[in-house]
Structure 1
């Protein structure tokens, strides 16, 4: 069965940009619930536990129709949150360096322009969802958003970095101020991890 990976830092490590209570609830309640629901849905079809969650989400048509929506929603939530936690960290932020910086420059002109466009994806995602920087199969980069817990993998894309814009990700601290949450989020980005994901084949 799929497992909840250990959070790579303490609940209060993302202060003051994301408060400890939000991280704790988000990780122990929301992320854990997606995991539980995914495992429950797959119990009757244990052969899928031999696949990675990435393989499952890349081809949802392989999943039996009666559980496909549940796996799409909860499998996406499980994987999306793993990426989200991994690309953040304490004492991070700043500007990217290396290959990811070059990629951002190439496809978006400048880091400042990239930030503006990325935040726009997060702000214009109506309701709940995610904003993403993803890599196409030809290696080019794309900014996009997905509704609910849909995964870029299901669209044939490889997620390099993503931000959760469900209200549970920011409401305790920011209430309805999604723009402030997105603006502050840049202070948490672990560019080394994002670089690793960008270079992943």
Structure 2
């Protein structure tokens, strides 16, 4: 049997261990807010990053913390299961928003850092083999983006269950891609990504963003996905 001293030390450690739960934070950006102008304004990037992305960071941390706290009480109060289910929806939404935006920021680069330059290597060969040209892939992606009713995302993905073929996938709200679908490019179609600059002309935003797409990052993801 454990001594009383050991038991006391174990109890003293528990709060410390719980307090060490890792929390997510905003990622560092590789460029200044204004670096993507004139294609995406500095003010949009500032608000998008410091307000919207921060909201998903805060929401995910809060939901995960509440979930862990309630989970410890489930044995004594089975009715808590309803609250856990509700929190799972919060985790899915804010976790998707956090993940999607992390992908989005790395997908962007000013022209001085290679933004807009066509991909090379294996990704370029795959695009040529499947679509005939990069322009045709971009046109398909813009069509998918235009078809999103309300808020959502378009992803160019590598499908590992389909021999590594490229696909363009729509999601709604903050749903993300998982499993065999490996995201190469993520484009935000929520109004907060463009409205301040493009207002209701979202098709112009979809056209403009390709000038700052970081295809080098997409190529790295393509090569790494296995």
Give CA deviations for 1:42-82 in whole Å, capped at 9, x if unaligned.
013459xxxxxxxxxxxxxxxx5231111111100001001
Indicate whether 1:75 and 2:95 are aligned: yes
| Matching residue of 2:143 | 120
What CA RMSD, in Å, does the superposition of the two structures yield over aligned residues? 1.5
Query: Which of 146, 155, 159 is equivalent to 1:136?
Result: 159
Indicate whether 1:99 and 2:93 are aligned: no
TM normalised by structure 2 equals 0.78
* TM-superposed deviation, 1:156: 4.2
Indicate whether 1:21 and 2:40 are aligned: no
| Matching residue of 1:194 | 218
Q: How many positions carry a matched residue from both structures?
A: 184
| Matching residue of 2:173 | 148
Give CA deviations for 1:158-178 in whole Å, capped at 9, x if unaligned.
111011010100001100111
Rounded Cα–Cα distance in structure 2 between residues aligned with 1:111 and 1:12: 27
Larger radius of gyration: 2
Rounded Cα–Cα distance in structure 2 between residues aligned with 1:68 and 1:109: 42
Rounded Cα–Cα distance in structure 1 between residues aligned with 2:130 and 2:85: 38
Rounded Cα–Cα distance in structure 2 between residues aligned with 1:100 and 1:73: 30
* TM-superposed deviation, 1:109: 2.2
* TM-superposed deviation, 1:105: 1.4
Rounded Cα–Cα distance in structure 2 between residues aligned with 1:137 and 1:95: 23
Q: Which runs of 4+ in 1 moved over 4 A?
A: none
| Matching residue of 2:107 | 87
SS at match of 2:34: coil
Report the more deviating stretch, 174-183 or 156-165.
156-165
C-alpha contact 2:67 2:87 (8 A) present in aligned 1? no
* TM-superposed deviation, 1:147: 0.2
SS at match of 1:152: coil
The runs of 5 or more residues in structure 1 that have no matched partner are 48-63
| Matching residue of 1:61 | none
Rounded Cα–Cα distance in structure 2 between residues aligned with 1:196 and 1:140: 16
| Matching residue of 1:109 | 132
* TM-superposed deviation, 1:94: 3.0
C-alpha contact 2:158 2:183 (8 A) present in aligned 1? yes
